Amino acid sequence: MKTLYKLLLAATVPVLGLAACGGSDTEDRLDVADPVVRFVHASPIAPQLTLYRGTVAQPDASNVSYKFASNYFDVDMSAADWSVKTSTGSITLGTVTIDPSRGTRYTIVALPSSSTDNSTYLIVDPYNKPLGSSSAHLRLMNASFNAANVDLYMNNVGADISTLTPIIAGTAYKTSGPASGSDSIDIPGGTYQVTVTTSGTKNVLFRGQATFSNNTDVLVLTVPDTVLPGAIKGLIKIEGTAGANDIPAI
């Protein structure tokens, strides 16, 4: 029913209007695009890793190091187990099951589960972006075992957050915000002060600066900087660019 509604709505939106608001992701917005998967290596303590679909190593995510982040790649519609394994020794960090749906984006994240061990997490993004929107789509991944729950602020550079409300609040370790299965959130493209605090407080754990454009898929990750409590830094994955890059601290 949702897809039919979107198709009917699309018939009322000029073609040029759709192209102006993204063009390349119009099929995503109509929920008719092939499902896609990407892999993010967000564990500073893990070795080279390889992503497997069943027993088949994925060429887009094979023998990759920390801060690697593939762009989305198409997958067929059949359900499968996806495993993250060390490239040497084939030790499994974790396995997730994906039963793909059209118009949905899947992100498999390798992350540290402690100062000595690793695990995986699956983010399911229905990507129900409005047909007329030109905003970026934003999600937070808390991959910091040493930071507990965190809040994310995205404001003008130099903003005082003391009276501001986080854009994404209360994201626990090994979860995403919004939660997996919910849509990521719209945010206009631009240059932002990225602030991560202890959830429910103004205690700043990390502050940096990031820039992205409209009509982009943006994933912000918090990862341990050291094993000390609260010692974290930020990474950002902007779809269509290489890797998960450090957010420069300010």
Average pLDDT over the chain, rounded to an integer: 90
pLDDT of residue 87 exceeding 90: yes
Contact (Cβ atoms closer than 8 angstroms) between residue 209 and residue 248: yes
Interval 4-31: pLDDT, tens = 444 444 444 444 444 333 334 666 556 6
Which pLDDT value is given to residue 26?
A: 62
Interval 146-181: pLDDT, tens = 998 999 999 999 999 999 999 999 999 999 999 999
Which pLDDT value is given to residue 30?
A: 63
Which pLDDT value is given to residue 148?
A: 87
- Tell me which residue of 192, 203, 209, 244 sits closest to 223, measured CA to CA: 244
The residue ranking higher by pLDDT, 186 or 6, is 186
pLDDT of residue 187 exceeding 60: yes
Contact (Cβ atoms closer than 8 angstroms) between residue 235 and residue 220: yes
* Alpha-carbon gap, residue 179 to 244, rounded angstroms: 20
Q: Please list, in sequence order, all residues whose beta carbon lies within 8 angstroms of the beta carbon of residue 59, skipping any fewer than 6 positions away.
A: none
Which pLDDT value is given to residue 33?
A: 80
Stated pTM of the model: 0.88
Angle at 213 between CA 244 and CA 10, to 5 degrees: 115
Cis peptide before 178 (omega within 30 of 0): yes
What percent of the chain is modeled with pLDDT above 70? 88
Interval 37-76: pLDDT, tens = 999 999 999 999 999 999 999 999 999 999 999 999 999 9
What average pLDDT does the segment 91-102 reach? 97
